[in-house]
């Protein structure tokens, strides 16, 4: 590589890193507790557990569960409902003032076998809510999400440029060598490079999936415009189905499951909500394998007749989004993968912090290159 190329890549790496580092530190710090969301939820009491009953105790009807949930917040509507991933006897209902997307929601948790209320945890306050909002959108909604997506893109640029710059060092140093006999700044540079290479793949995967996740709202809106519009042509001009005129939820649930044998429910989007239409319950059904369990398939059930009207295949861009979301938080292989994700997250915090240290302790740029063993034109070798 020519010296001019080294200078160019160094400039790209320096400025892409400097612009995104503070925000990446924030995302790593807030992402660390989010890796263990379910475990922390159990400690904080937001994860509910159903009481012990004989195995195979039947569930009450979906209509009964919906009735009990609505009775707790009669001034609100049900936006979503879903069973707990670990215990299908526990059902969560999300209640909002209107079907439109909002951060103003309440949760009601029911025992699906008895319709007893297990709790009404608040997910819109407290430590984990603050961590989540900072991590997702900086409390700034869609603009905040897109801004963080741009920061993730700069992280990817910084990673690629960092790999390119690491190559010249490999000619003179053993892989991962830390030159303890050099100045503190050079030792920090070697540690920065070493951990940067160790966390390279993880940081690239998490950065890329994080960037994709920031597009979630836009991708869902595009999917609704691109595919649901055609499917809903027969309903054009009809208002949202009033609650009093809706068919049995239990019949709709059974119809959805019958349409896709071998699947189980991920969540239900009620009429008029972001993931459904004004005329349907949309049942998102998932498979049993580690991959298919992350790829829910939508089944639209007419809210008046409880008949399945469509079951569109997910487009490739939503498939990418749904696969990237659990991968971003290491939620694919249980606790071992979560621990690995946490270790790599901490290592990345060190990489980002050491990068800031090297910047604040900087001398003349060409002096650092000389110290690191890269000859700059116009200087003594």
Q: What are phi and psi of 241, to 5 degrees?
A: -65, 120
What does the mean pLDDT of the chain come to?
A: 85
Residue 367 has pLDDT above 60, yes or no: no
Q: What mean pLDDT comes out for the span 97-114?
A: 91
Q: What would the mean pLDDT of 40-59 be, rounded to a whole number? A: 87
**What are the tens digits of pLDDT across the range 327-359?**
888 776 678 888 989 998 998 888 888 877 777
Instruction: Tell me what pLDDT residue 369 has.
Output: 47
Structure token digits, residue 41: 């939820």
How confident is the model over 52-60, as a mean pLDDT? 93
Which two structure tokens, joined as six digits, stand for 227?
Answer: 């595919």
Q: Confidence class of residue 282 from pLDDT cuts 50, 70 and 90?
A: very high
Record the pTM.
0.81
Sign of the CA dihedral running 331, 336, 341, 346:
positive
pLDDT of res. 323: 84
**In angstroms, rounded to a whole number, what is the distance separating the alpha carbons of residues 90 and 53?**
13
Q: Is 123 exposed, middle or buried (0-12, 13-18, 19+ CB in 10 A)?
A: middle
Per residue in 159-218, pLDDT tens?
888 888 776 666 666 665 666 666 677 776 777 777 777 788 888 999 999 999 999 989
Cα–Cα distance measured from residue 261 to residue 145, given in angstroms and rounded to the nearest whole number:
37
- For residue 363, the model assigns a pLDDT of 53
Residue 180, pLDDT score: 66
Query: What sign has the CA pseudo-torsion 98, 99, 102, 104?
Result: positive
Tokens 């699947």 found at: 263
What's the confidence (pLDDT) of residue 167?
A: 66
Phi, psi of 379 (to 5 degrees): -125, 160
Which tokens belong to 94? Answer: 């999300």
Instruction: Find all residues with CB under 8 Å of 342, minimum gap 6, and list them.
Output: 32, 35, 36, 330
Q: For strand 297-302 and strand 280-286, is the pairing parallel, antiparallel, or unpaired?
A: antiparallel
Q: Which residue has the tokens 């996740």?
A: 213
Domain range annotation of the chain = 1-31+140-235+313-381, 47-121+242-303
Q: Note whether 369 and 362 are within 8 A (CB).
A: no
Residue 186 contacts residue 371 (beta carbons within 8 Å): yes
pLDDT at 102: 83
- What count of other Cβ atoms lies within 10 Å of the Cβ of residue 186? 18
Contact status, residue 277 vs residue 215, Cβ threshold 8 Å: no
pLDDT in tens, 283-305: 999 988 777 777 888 999 999 99
Average pLDDT over residues 268-285: 90
Distance CA 107, CA 121 (A): 6
Report the pLDDT averaged over residues 252-264: 94
Give yes or no for residue 42 having a pLDDT over 90.
Answer: no
Tell me, what's the pLDDT at 43? 84
DSSP 267-333: EEEPTTSTTS-TTEEEEEEE-SSTTGGG--EEEEEETTT--EEE-PPPPHHHHHHHHHHHHHTTTTS
User: Which among 86, 74, 75, 72 is positioned nearest to 120, based on CA atoms?
Assistant: 72
pLDDT reported for residue 31: 93
For 111, the 3-state DSSP assignment is strand
């Amino acid at each position: 590589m020519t010296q001019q190329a080294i200078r160019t890549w160094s400039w790209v790496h320096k400025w892409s890193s400097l612009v995104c580092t503070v925000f990446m530190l924030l995302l790593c710090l807030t992402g660390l507790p989010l890796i263990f969301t379910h475990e922390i939820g159990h400690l904080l009491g937001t994860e509910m557990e159903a009481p012990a009953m004989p195995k195979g105790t039947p569930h009450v009807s979906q209509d009964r569960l919906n009735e009990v949930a609505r009775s707790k917040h009669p001034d609100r509507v049900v936006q979503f409902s879903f069973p707990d991933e670990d215990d299908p006897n526990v059902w969560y209902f999300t209640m909002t003032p209107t079907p439109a997307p909002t951060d103003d929601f309440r949760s009601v948790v029911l025992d699906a076998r008895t319709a007893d209320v297990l709790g009404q945890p608040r997910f819109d306050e407290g430590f984990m809510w603050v961590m989540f909002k900072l991590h997702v959108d900086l409390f700034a909604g869609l603009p905040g999400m897109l801004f963080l997506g741009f920061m993730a893109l700069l992280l990817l640029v910084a990673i690629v440029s960092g790999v390119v710059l690491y190559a010249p060092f490999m000619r003179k140093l053993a892989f991962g060598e830390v030159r303890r006999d050099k100045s503190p700044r050079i030792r920090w540079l070697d540690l920065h490079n070493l951990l940067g290479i160790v966390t390279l793949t993880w940081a690239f995967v998490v950065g890329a999936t994080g960037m994709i996740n920031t597009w979630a709202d836009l991708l869902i809106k595009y999917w609704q415009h691109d595919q649901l519009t055609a499917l809903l042509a027969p309903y054009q001009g009809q208002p949202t189905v009033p609650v009093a005129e809706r068919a049995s939820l239990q019949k709709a649930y059974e119809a959805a499951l019958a349409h896709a044998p071998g699947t189980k429910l991920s969540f239900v989007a009620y009429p008029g909500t972001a993931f459904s239409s004004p005329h349907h319950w949309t049942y998102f059904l998932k498979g049993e394998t580690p991959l298919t369990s992350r790829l829910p398939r939508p089944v639209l059930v007419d809210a008046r007749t409880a008949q399945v009207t469509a079951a569109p295949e997910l487009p490739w861009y939503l498939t990418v989004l749904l696969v990237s979301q659990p991968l971003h938080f290491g939620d694919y292989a249980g606790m071992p993968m979560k621990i690995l994700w946490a270790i790599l997250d901490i290592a990345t915090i060190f990489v980002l912090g050491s990068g800031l240290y090297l910047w604040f302790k900087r001398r003349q740029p060409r002096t650092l290159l000389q110290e690191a063993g890269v000859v700059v034109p116009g200087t003594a070798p």
